[in-house]
Structure 1
């Protein structure tokens, strides 16, 4: 049984070596130095293959890390833009509130004094406020 396993391993080694180096070797006829040389070549080939895999994984990791950095940077930019837009919307909201208060005051003046100029101003402010509110909500023109 042990001899069969050894022959099987030798056959596998010979097939691998033939594919890799284009020749067949017989382990039984080798001297110690030659065997060491062949084992070293086999080890070096295996090591090189694994090192290539390690290098590829390192490259993938570097790309993924760079991608994460880009995503984080993009997220910071989006958050910054969102905050800036929110500041603008807040200012627009405060301005609309002030305009509504002025319109109410002008309507009150119309009710008390029947001031047509005040009524016209109030109606114009109301129209502007409605259009601006609709624009801020993302509505039509």
Structure 2
């Protein structure tokens, strides 16, 4: 019983640390996590369409619930075609682990993959999310 209680407490403490982070209220399919990081993102404007400019607002927190110190990068890639966008996104630091990436436009329909690269002193990690663009 003690081991079971310990597992529950560890799970709750990890969940509550991450809960302190997510203030974007992003849809669940726009929330990524690993052992080290939690990331939420949303597109502005909402939804994706071919040849439409958009930006990505995102928030990154460490597993202890604190904001990352550096500035992550974000890009988009088409795995089936082996190429990315025709544009390079620029990331602006907004504070408290929040960022805005501008300069996105998907030039063709299909499966696109967002790649969020987080580089911190404790190590680097890439979180990815797939989206279909019609």
Give me the TM-score of the superposition, normalised by structure 1: 0.23
Higher RCO (C-alpha 8 Å, min separation 6)? 2
Structure 1 or 2: larger strand share?
2
Structure 1 or 2: larger helix share?
1
Give me the TM-score of the superposition, normalised by structure 2: 0.24
Larger radius of gyration, structure 1 or 2? Answer: 1
